Structure 1
Amino acid sequence: MKKELEHSFVNELEKNQNIVHKVCKIYTNDPDSHNDLFQEITIQLWKAYPKFRGDSKFTTWMYRVALNTAITLYRKSKKRIKTQDIEGLVYKIKTDNYDDTEEKQLKLMYDAIKQLNDIDKALIFLYLEDKNYAEISETLGISEVNARVKMNRIKTKLKTILNP
């Protein structure tokens, strides 16, 4: 029984691990933190997996566990002393043929999203994952109307951040 459970979990995690990576990208700033958060989310998913009843889709359940874990760790980390990432100080040589416009725009968007509060980050993340408002409300435990209202406010907030 335990081997079947383990095999089922590993199979589902492998199929849907991009969800966890995307959550990690929103809540971390460097590769080490990303890997740490990925590991912690995986541990929490494994601990909770035996209680997964299948009332919702596996991915919906996975989003909920991943976001809750990230938010919990993010709140704990805000209490720590801030340090500067040395990677940001390294100069990179740009080639003439490489157009990084899209990459820069994505970075600006991620930087803007990181300025949002925890719940807003989760909501915009699910929205960018093309989840409908029913799925967003189910994942976050809020009403569809509340999700729509919050989403409109988040869009306005992001426009303000990106176009001061």
Structure 2
Amino acid sequence: MAGALTQQLQNVLSEYGDLIARVAATYEADPHLREDLLQEIAVAIWRALPSFRNEASLKTFILRIAHNRGASFVGKQMRRPRTITMETEYTDRKPTPESVLIDAQSSKLTRLMTAIQQLPLSQRQIVALSLEGLPYNEIADILGISVSNVGVRLNRAKKALRQHLGVH
């Protein structure tokens, strides 16, 4: 049984690993802490898989676990003092045209992710799920709220993101 469960977890992580990583990124900006969160999500999924009853899609089941684990992770991190480490590199490298373009695109994505991470948790969850292309009814199911509440929170989140990004 344990072998079958391990194989099932590997299949889930293979199919939904990128999705889970994107969800984790909305909860944690620090790469090291994000890795801890990803491990917590994987363990939570492994523990929950035997209780999956096909009442919702596997994707919805996985997202509910990931978001619940992300919310509890943020709560734990808020109670812990943060230490900041400075990593510096003293090499002088001239950028190539390709790296300038990649940096510009990366900068836009970084600005968006930073803005999303500054949203209140309830709005952050809605935005992350919306960016995954989920319909309102699945988002409502994952978060345990009404479909109309999804719309209200998403509109508030979009307004807040426009303010954070200076877009009107």
TM-score by length of 1: 0.91
Q: C-alpha displacement at 1:30, in angstroms? A: 2.6
Matched, 1:113 2:116: yes
Number of the residue aligned with 1:18: 18
Work out which of the residue numbers 137, 141, 151 in structure 2 matches 1:138: 141
CA RMSD of aligned residues (A): 1.8
Matched, 1:61 2:56: no
Matched, 1:160 2:147: no
Point out where structure 1 has 5 or more consecutive residues left out of the alignment.
none
For 2:107 and 2:94, the matched residues in 1 are separated by 13
Q: C-alpha displacement at 1:85, in angstroms? A: 3.5
From the superposition, tell whether residues 96 and 10 of structure 1 become closer, same or farther in structure 2 (CA, over 3 Å). closer
Q: C-alpha displacement at 1:8, in angstroms? A: 2.2
- Cα deviations across residues 112-143 of structure 1 (Å, max 9, x unaligned)? 00111112111100111111111111111111
Moved more, 13-22 or 92-101: 92-101
Work out which of the residue numbers 91, 104, 119 in structure 1 matches 2:107: 104
Q: C-alpha displacement at 1:94, in angstroms? A: 5.1
Q: C-alpha displacement at 1:91, in angstroms? A: 6.4
Matched, 1:148 2:155: no
TM-score by length of 2: 0.89
Amino acid at match of 2:147: E
For 1:80 and 1:6, the matched residues in 2 are separated by 32
Number of the residue aligned with 2:30: 30
Work out which of the residue numbers 117, 126, 129 in structure 2 matches 1:126: 129
Amino acid at match of 2:145: I
From the superposition, tell whether residues 43 and 153 of structure 1 become closer, same or farther in structure 2 (CA, over 3 Å). same
Point out where structure 2 has 5 or more consecutive residues left out of the alignment.
none
Number of the residue aligned with 1:4: 4
Indicate the percent of aligned positions where both proteins have the same amino acid.
31
- 4+ runs deviating over 6 angstroms: none
Number of the residue aligned with 1:78: 78
Q: C-alpha displacement at 1:58, in angstroms? A: 0.6
Q: C-alpha displacement at 1:90, in angstroms? A: 4.4
For 2:19 and 2:40, the matched residues in 1 are separated by 14
